[in-house]
Amino acid sequence: MSFDAERLAQPAIRALRAYDPGHDLPTLRTRFGAVLAELGSNENPSGPSPKALAAAREALADSHRYPDPRCGRLRDVLSNHHGVSPDQLVFGNGSHELLMQLAQAFAGPDAAVMHSQYGFAVFAIAAAASGAPTICVPALPREHPSAPWGHDLDAMAAALRDDMRLVYLANPNNPTGTWFSPDALHAFLKKVPDDTLVVVDEAYGEFMQVAGHASALSLMAAHPNLVVTRTFSKAYALAGMRVGYLVAHPSVAAVLERLRESFNLGLATQAAAVAALADSVYLHLTLTRNAEERAWLAAELAERGHRTLPSLTNFLLLDTGEDAAPLERHLFDRGVIVRPMGGYGLPQTVRISVGSRAENRRLLEALP
C-alpha cells in the first residue's frame, strides 16, 4: 500500500480546497515576454514608491541579522497613522495570513463563521480549515441599483445566531468591487452581540476616494468586537513584499500574537512599508492615476457593449451575461491575463485589474 498523508490529516483539512492563485505567471512571462498584459491579480502597475525601494535595498545590507520580531518601527508609524494604540496592531505575511489566523484562534466546531456569497475566497477557506459551521448569506441581487452582488448586511444581521463567533466582511469587496457606507456598517454592528467578532477586510480601502466614506477604524472605539485588516499589497504596490496588518482590541491582538510566526516580516519588508507609508505624495499620485484609468477603461468597455459593475477599487468585474470561459481563453491566447470568476460562483464574469494605459489598450485590442 502506497503512503498517502491525506488519511492522516484532520477532517476539516481533508475537506479543504486550496486557494487558487490563478495562472502560472512566471511561465507566461517567458512565453509572451513584453507583450504580456497581467490584469488578473489586482497588482498596482505604478509600482512601489522609489523611497520604499531605496529603504528596502538599504535594509538588505543587514540580511545576516534577524528582523525586529515586534516590527517596532512599523508598529509606531502605523499607530500614529491610524491613531490607534501600538498594542492594537498585529502583522502578517499579507492580510491573507491574518484572516486565516482569526479563524484558527476564534472559530471551531462549536463556534460558527458567517460570510457573504461572492465574498473574498479566503473567508470560506479560513472557516473550513477551522472546522467551524459556516453560514454563507446570499448576496444582493445582480439588479441592485448601487451594490450588485454586494453584501446584504440586513440579511446577514438576520442570520446571526448564538454560536456565531466570526463574521467576515470586505469593503470594498473582491471580486465584485462593491462597497457599503460607514452608516450601514454601524447599523449592522449595533445588531451584533459583543462576543461575535466582525472582521472588515479593507485590502482595497485606500482606493475608496469618495465623499463621506471613512474606514471601519472610525467605529472601533464604539465596537471593541470590530477587527480591521489591511495590506500594503494593493495601493502601496508591495505585493511581493507581503506586508499585512490588522487593528483590533488589545485583547484580540494579544490572542493572535500567540499564533503569529516569529520574524514573519523580513528586514526589507518592514523598511519598505515604513517608507511607503511616509510617501503620501506618491500614494496620492497612484490613487489618482488608478481612478482616472479605471474610469477610462470602464467607458471604453461600455462603448464596446461590455457591462462592468460599479467599482472603487483597482479592478473591474465584467459581466458577460453568459459563460465567460470562451472570452477568458480568447484573451489568454493573446497574452492578456484576466481572472475568471467561476470559482466564486460567477462563471459569467471575469475580473480585470486596472493596468497601465498600454496594458489596458492591449486588453481592448484583444477583445473579440
pLDDT in tens, the chain (368 residues): 688 888 777 877 777 777 666 777 677 676 776 668 889 999 999 999 999 999 999 999 999 999 999 999 999 999 999 999 999 999 999 999 999 999 999 999 999 999 999 999 999 999 999 999 999 999 999 999 889 999 999 999 999 999 999 999 999 999 999 999 999 999 999 999 999 999 999 999 999 988 778 899 999 999 999 999 999 999 999 999 999 999 999 999 999 999 998 899 999 999 999 999 999 999 999 999 999 999 999 999 999 999 999 999 999 999 999 999 999 999 999 999 999 999 999 999 999 999 999 999 999 999 99
Phi–psi pair at 105, nearest 5 degrees:
-85, -35
Cβ atoms of residues 345 and 317 within 8 Å? no
Query: Rounded distance, CA 233 to CA 244, Å?
Result: 8
pLDDT at 222: 95
Cβ atoms of residues 199 and 99 within 8 Å? yes
pLDDT at 34: 66
Phi–psi pair at 229, nearest 5 degrees:
-110, 145
Residue 239's SS3 state is coil
**Grid cell listed for 279:** 510617501
Reported for 94-98, long-range contacts at CB under 8 A and 24+ positions apart, including other chains, are 94/231, 94/233, 94/242, 94/243, 94/244, 95/201, 95/203, 95/229, 95/230, 95/231, 95/233, 95/244, 95/245, 95/246, 96/19, 96/122, 96/244, 97/244, 97/264, 98/229, 98/244, 98/245, 98/246, 98/256
Q: 208-246: b or e for each residue (b if 16 or more CB lie within 10 Å)?
A: beeeebebbbebbeebebbbbbbbbbbbbbbbebbbbbb
Q: What does each C-alpha distance from 254 to 74, 90, 138, 257 come to in angstroms? A: 18, 9, 33, 5
**Domain segments of the chain: what residues?**
5-48+281-366, 63-278
Question: What class is the 63-278 domain?
Answer: alpha beta
Q: Tell me whether residue 325 is exposed, middle or buried, using C-beta atoms within 10 angstroms of its C-beta: 0 to 12, 13 to 18, 19 or more.
A: middle
Q: Specify the residue for cell string 450588485.
A: 148
Q: Specify the residue for cell string 518601527.
A: 73
Nearest to 311 by CA among 200, 169, 209: 209
pLDDT at 4: 82
**Grid cell listed for 303:** 462603448
Q: Which fold has domain 5-48+281-366?
A: Aspartate Aminotransferase, domain 1 (3.90.1150)
